Amino acid sequence: MHAYPAWKSLTVLVVLLLSVLFALPNVFGEAPALQMTRKDRVAIDAAAVAEVRDLLRAESVAFDEAFQDEAGRMWVRFDDVEEQMRARDLVNRTFEGRYAVATTFATRAPRWLTGLGLKPMSLGLDLRGGMYLVYEVDVEGAIGQLTQVLERDLRKILREARISYLEVAGEGQSVTARLKDPAQRAEARRLISDFDPNLEVIDGPGEAEVVARLTEAQVKQRQDFAIQQNITALNNRVNALGVAEPVIQRQGLNRIAVQLPGIQDAAEVVRILGKVATLEFRLVDQVNSPLEAQRTGRAPLGTRLYEDRNGGPVLLKREVIATGEQLIDATTSLAQGEPAVDVVLDGRGGEEMLRATRENLGKPMAVVFIERERELVERDGRKVVLDRSTEEVISVATIRGIFSNRFQITGLTVGEGQELAKLLRAGALAAPLYIVEQRLIGPSLGRDNIERGFMALVIGMAVTFLFMIIYYRVFGLIADVVLLCNVIMITALLSLFGAALTLPGIAGIVLTVGMAVDANILIYERIREELRNGTSPSAAIQGGFQHALSAIVDANLTTLIAAVMLFAFGTGPIRGFAVVLFLGILTSLFTALMGGRALVHLAYGRRRRIEQLAI
């Protein structure tokens, strides 16, 4: 009698049932949909959903369902693209300026499935269609900005210490100070080292020269900051497009890849992503009434009227303390157990901040977010370029102490602190961006990729299934069930982790099916060998699974290492292929060794005596 532990069979059954549950949303497919978010970043409530639903019904626009998700977004699902386009134009025309509307796809899965948080696999750009951009970041320009800041700081240090100098000039990754008196060189070197211990401070070639050089760690930190700040800036700008499921990620040393599914208007994308944003720190006017200024439409002398993110009036003084161009870094932290944002300004900004805080202790200070864009419009039959600017107060905080280039903004929630840090970092690009690649992928090409990829998977599996049944009979049928379960588990894992399925990912699934067959063949051939040696059927099954284990693990381990290397050094589609390959290897090992063994036990385990095996 063939024996197999009951707990292993139960484990296989539970894993398979969970895999079916997680993969189930993919069975229902997707439908054209609109994804809507409020431009003021306020979560959409049930009343707003009802308002849009009533509008569509009043205009006889056929839709399947309208609902809000846990992220505060509204989704409207349609049966065809024509109704989707009609609804988009109607919403934009009726609620002009209120919503960012994106054309996308939504799952047809029933609400009880989506209510459990289960979602289908998202499709990559090559399957869904959209726009693909690659920006190159001028990291050398970012280093140049840091060198300029260091120049200003060194001038300030030498000036305050009454050390006369002829010139302070930066070149590359170093700044050279030429002093008037060679006897003061040691003192200048000591002051610069005390100012920033991370700098490499040495004597220059001249007898009155001091050289401050950025270390490799500082250079890399500035390059990484430039890339990350530009990614944050692009993220904020992409949000203005209302793109569903955008992908913005670093590519190599100095490039940023932007994938915008569903976008077909290239000119609009390039225009918005090319917008310029900055920040201003201003003092709040506590003497005059902002409500009165809003009512009369006239701000008192020496002030300017702004609006906060909720539309409330804020009266600020015209004098600017510091701007976003002087921002070096902004990160979230905790101050006495409360959320805070740590801000770092350059030397000049720190000097102005020190003066302002010393003179205005206990008074409120505001952070103004300014965004400028250039728009091409038609006037009198001619196309003209107009510059537009939007300004809003994103934070008002009381000055609790005297500070200069390093300070904290408090009085925020955790979410507000994280968002403020992102806005501060995105206030201005840390380095210029240049488009090096731009591709527009049509949705028809995506559908063609899906159909061909799916057809390749179906044909490959069908031929494999037929071969296994003919060659291994009952055991071949077991292998086919194992392969089918393997594909279900891969689909479940991709859905669970929110991974995007790309064309290389489909290739990875097809390759995984072939590799999973190899594991079954190794096991079955070992069982055949045991039978030829005169071993009993039960012992042959036992020996086949045990003796083939080492060969299966060795073969899959090398492929696993290759998948890890592809993910570590690859980008974009290569990483997608690596993820599917990695998951496929894990599921293949589980289904072949445990799932296949459980099915063999199901077929032969209840027999008291096994006369022969159908293999």
Distance CA 435, CA 115 (A): 41
Select from 271, 301, 238 the least CA-distant residue to 100.
Answer: 238
Select from 343, 406, 326, 349 the least CA-distant residue to 145.
Answer: 326
Distance CA 489, CA 502 (A): 17
Q: How far is CA 599 from CA 21, 221, 594, in A?
A: 20, 55, 9
Q: What is the pLDDT of residue 472?
A: 83
**Contact by Cβ (8 Å): 513, 460:** yes
Q: Are residues 172 and 321 in the same domain?
A: no
Structure tokens at 225: 């900051």
Q: What is the pLDDT of residue 605?
A: 67
CATH of the domain at 526: 1.20.1640.10
**Would you call 311 exposed, middle or buried from its count of C-beta atoms within 10 A (0-12, 13-18, 19+)?**
exposed
Distance CA 548, CA 116 (A): 40
Domain membership flag for residue 540:
yes
Domain membership flag for residue 357:
yes
Please state, as a whole number, how many other Cβ atoms lie within 10 Å of the Cβ of residue 1. 10
Q: What is the pLDDT of residue 1?
A: 45
Please state, as a whole number, how many other Cβ atoms lie within 10 Å of the Cβ of residue 301. 7
Taking 80 as the threshold, does the pLDDT of residue 45 lie above it?
A: yes
Exposed e or buried b for every residue in 589-602, given b needs 16+ CB within 10 A? bbbbbbbbbbbbbe
Taking 60 as the threshold, does the pLDDT of residue 441 lie above it?
A: yes
**Contact by Cβ (8 Å): 225, 139:** no
Q: Which domain holds residue 380?
A: 275-430
Q: Are residues 73 and 88 in the same domain?
A: yes
Q: Which helix (H) or strand (E) holds 139?
A: helix 139-160
Q: Are residues 69 and 81 in the same domain?
A: yes
Mean of pLDDT values over 422-437: 64
Q: Are residues 49 and 11 in the same domain?
A: no
Q: What is the residue whose two structure tokens read 């626009």?
A: 61
Q: Are residues 478 and 394 in the same domain?
A: no
Give the pairing type, strands 313-323 and 338-345.
unpaired
Select from 47, 141, 137, 34 the least CA-distant residue to 83.
Answer: 34
Structure tokens at 317: 């003084």
Domain membership flag for residue 1:
no
Handedness of CA 417, 420, 421, 422 (dihedral sign): positive
Handedness of CA 21, 24, 26, 29 (dihedral sign): negative
The total of structural domains in the chain comes to: 4
Mean per-residue pLDDT of the chain: 79
CATH of the domain at 166: 3.90.1150
Taking 60 as the threshold, does the pLDDT of residue 426 lie above it?
A: no
Q: Which among 272, 295, 319 is the end of a domain?
A: 272
Mean of pLDDT values over 258-283: 68
CATH of the domain at 309: 3.30.1360
Give the contacts of 194 (CB within 8 A, at least 6 positions apart).
Answer: none
Selected residue with higher pLDDT from 407 and 429? 407
Give the contacts of 291 (CB within 8 A, at least 6 positions apart).
Answer: 313
CATH of the domain at 71: 3.30.70.260
Q: Are residues 261 and 280 in the same domain?
A: no
Give the contacts of 606 (CB within 8 A, at least 6 positions apart).
Answer: none
**Contact by Cβ (8 Å): 12, 18:** no
Q: What is the pLDDT of residue 423?
A: 58
Distance CA 528, CA 598 (A): 19
Q: Which among 53, 78, 108 is the end of a domain?
A: 108
**Contact by Cβ (8 Å): 38, 44:** yes
Confidence of residue 8 (pLDDT cuts 50, 70, 90): confident
Domain membership flag for residue 117:
no
Q: Are residues 268 and 342 in the same domain?
A: no
User: 373 forms bridges with which residues in the sheet?
Assistant: 388
In degrees rounded to 5, what are phi and psi of residue 205?
-65, -30
**Contact by Cβ (8 Å): 100, 36:** yes
Select from 472, 542, 456 the least CA-distant residue to 504.
Answer: 456
Q: Are residues 331 and 347 in the same domain?
A: yes
Q: Please provide the distance, in angstroms rounded to a whole number, between the alpha carbons at the two ends of the chain.
A: 18
Confidence of residue 106 (pLDDT cuts 50, 70, 90): confident
Q: What is the pLDDT of residue 570?
A: 75
Taking 50 as the threshold, does the pLDDT of residue 286 lie above it?
A: yes
Taking 50 as the threshold, does the pLDDT of residue 323 lie above it?
A: yes
Q: What is the pLDDT of residue 204?
A: 83
Domain membership flag for residue 122:
no
Distance CA 422, CA 442 (A): 32
Least confident of 166-175, 375-384, 509-518, 578-587: 375-384
Which percentage of the chain shows pLDDT scores above 70? Answer: 84
Selected residue with higher pLDDT from 419 and 167? 167
Selected residue with higher pLDDT from 283 and 409? 283
Distance CA 449, CA 95 (A): 36
Q: Are residues 547 and 455 in the same domain?
A: yes
Q: What is the pLDDT of residue 97?
A: 66
Mean of pLDDT values over 527-534: 82
Give the pairing type, strands 122-123 and 500-501.
parallel
Q: Are residues 263 and 282 in the same domain?
A: no
Q: How far is CA 319 from CA 16, 280, 327, 364, in A?
A: 66, 10, 18, 14
Taking 80 as the threshold, does the pLDDT of residue 382 lie above it?
A: no
Cα 181 to chain centroid, rounded: 54
User: What 8-state DSSP symbol labels residue 324?
Assistant: G
Domain membership flag for residue 436:
no
Mean of pLDDT values over 404-410: 75
Coil, strand, or helix at residue 405?
coil
Q: Are residues 296 and 346 in the same domain?
A: yes
Select from 369, 365, 354 the least CA-distant residue to 406.
Answer: 354
Domain membership flag for residue 217:
yes
Select from 210, 214, 222 the least CA-distant residue to 174.
Answer: 214
- Pick from 421-430, 439-448, 588-597 the range whose average pLDDT is largest: 588-597
- Pick from 70-74, 437-441, 466-470 the range whose average pLDDT is largest: 466-470
Select from 556, 313, 329, 547 the least CA-distant residue to 422.
Answer: 329
Mean of pLDDT values over 283-294: 87
Distance CA 196, CA 208 (A): 21
Q: Which among 237, 252, 272 is the end of a domain?
A: 272
Taking 70 as the threshold, does the pLDDT of residue 163 lie above it?
A: yes
Confidence of residue 522 (pLDDT cuts 50, 70, 90): confident
Q: Are residues 268 and 281 in the same domain?
A: no
**Please, which contacts does 553-561 make with residues 24 or more away whose CB atoms are closer than 8 Å?**
553/589, 555/518, 555/519, 555/522, 556/515, 556/519, 556/585, 556/588, 556/589, 559/515, 559/585, 560/585
**Contact by Cβ (8 Å): 99, 36:** yes
Confidence of residue 333 (pLDDT cuts 50, 70, 90): confident
Q: What is the residue whose two structure tokens read 């199901």?
A: 602
Distance CA 103, CA 243 (A): 8
Domain membership flag for residue 206:
yes
